[in-house]
Amino acid sequence: MKRKIFLLSLIAINVSVVYGQDINFSQFYELPLLRNPSLAGTYRGDIRVTTAFRSQWNSVTVPYQTQALGVETKFGLGPESGDYISMGIQLTNDVAGDSKMGKTQVLPMLTYHKLVSADNDSYISVGFLGGPVLQRFDPTKLSFSDQFVNGAYLPTNPTRQTFSKTNNTYWDAAAGVTYSSVLGTETKYYVGVAWFHVNKPKVAFNPSNDIQLNRKWVFNGGLSTPTSESDRLIFYVDHFAQGGNSQTQGGIILRHNLVQEDEDLGVDISAGVFYRWNDAIIPVIKLGYYSFNLGLTYDTNISKLKTASQSRGGFEVTLSYNSFLNIRNSSLQKVRCPVAL
């Protein structure tokens, strides 16, 4: 069993380093900076704070756990301008397997939203994201074949396996562009594209290994349309392409307003389902209470791992807060605003 766990840990290290597997959440639409930095600021309010926690593969091995914190703020550029600037930061922390293979990202963001048509609130947004990333693992948590003596394993048995370096810090960068607009008076949509790992950072623990992250293209889409005075259908989709591999995820949510005091304040409940291609079916439920939103998902695994995982993928929860600020250039005072689905 220890050998199997060690192999799983080595696989986790290999995937993370060689193929550049990035953090991905089932509620990806709640973490826009991880999708495309130009999606920052697409919400009602001056400030948004989003937290997320994910735990997966509990039934297969040591749980893989991921946490995220995103902070965004936006403000208008003068009373006569429809343009905005968004600033913020995205923090993530990921820990996987017996070796505690982890990655912590600290990524500041800057986005400019340019109004191109006031008739239908059309914007072109250009965003940039970048900062340091720390990788590490703990070799003392691993078991090695030469620690088995006469078929018996003891953690105190010496091993010939040595590691010259167990942590690595590199700099990463991303850029993106999004077009958002309104069809008619109520149907809102956006399309975007982002380019991650622009600088192809070196990520090997051993400095003598020239291993770089492959650049990743991400294509984003979102659409929101009313079905009644109290209900709205919302669609999200992302497509990734990196190093010869690709992945698509998307889904639909129906939001029902329980209390609607005005455009910005209310109580609502949402339910829907998402699909990660050849990997998982993901039911979702979301509760909105004025400035707060709570989202819950659970992955039902349908990949080749489903026998080992017993179809149990990962539990995920998000909590967000967005509101207006009492400042002179608050977006509350603006007639136009980037699309908020």
Q: What is the pLDDT of residues 238-255, one digit of tens each?
A: 999 998 999 999 999 999
Model confidence at 14: pLDDT above 70: no
DSSP conformation class of 212? B
Model confidence at 7: pLDDT above 50: no
User: What torsion, rounded to 10 degrees, do the Cα atoms 132, 214, 138, 100 define?
Assistant: 90
In angstroms, the CA 308 to CA 54 distance is: 20
Residues 6 or more apart whose Cβ sits within 8 Å of residue 326: none
In angstroms, the CA 31 to CA 27 distance is: 7
Model confidence at 307: pLDDT above 70: no
pLDDT at 306: 57
Model confidence at 29: pLDDT above 70: yes
Residue 54 or residue 62, greater confidence: 54
In angstroms, the CA 311 to CA 51 distance is: 26
| Nearest alpha-carbon partner for 96 in 11, 206, 205 | 11
pLDDT at 252: 98
Which tokens hold the place of 331?
Answer: 């977006």
pLDDT at 232: 95
Q: Hey, what amino acid is at 49?
A: V
Name residue 147's beta-bridge partners: none
In angstroms, the CA 24 to CA 34 distance is: 8
In angstroms, the CA 236 to CA 242 distance is: 20
Rg (the chain; Cα; Å): 22
Model confidence at 121: pLDDT above 50: yes
Model confidence at 328: pLDDT above 90: no
Residue 114: how many other CB atoms lie within 10 Å: 15
Give the confidence band of 211 by pLDDT, cuts at 50, 70, 90. Answer: confident
Mean pLDDT of the residues in the chain: 85
Name residue 297's beta-bridge partners: 284, 316
Instruction: Kindly report, residue by residue over 144-182, the tens digit of the pLDDT.
Output: 777 777 777 777 777 777 777 888 899 999 999 999 999
User: What torsion, rounded to 10 degrees, do the Cα atoms 160, 203, 316, 70 define?
Assistant: 140
Instruction: Kindly report, residue by residue over 214-230, the tens digit of the pLDDT.
Output: 999 999 999 999 999 99
pLDDT at 104: 96
Q: What are phi and psi of 264, to 5 degrees?
A: -110, -20
User: What torsion, rounded to 10 degrees, do the Cα atoms 55, 67, 195, 303 define?
Assistant: 0
Model confidence at 44: pLDDT above 70: yes
In angstroms, the CA 197 to CA 129 distance is: 10
Dump the DSSP string for 223-256: EEEESSSSEEEEEEEEEEEETTEEEEEEEEEEEE
Burial category of 39 from C-beta neighbours within 10 Å (exposed 0-12, middle 13-18, buried 19 and up): buried
Residue 261: how many other CB atoms lie within 10 Å: 9
Dump the DSSP string for 2-47: HHHHHHHHHHHHHIIIII-PPP--TTGGG-HHHH-GGGTT-SSSSE
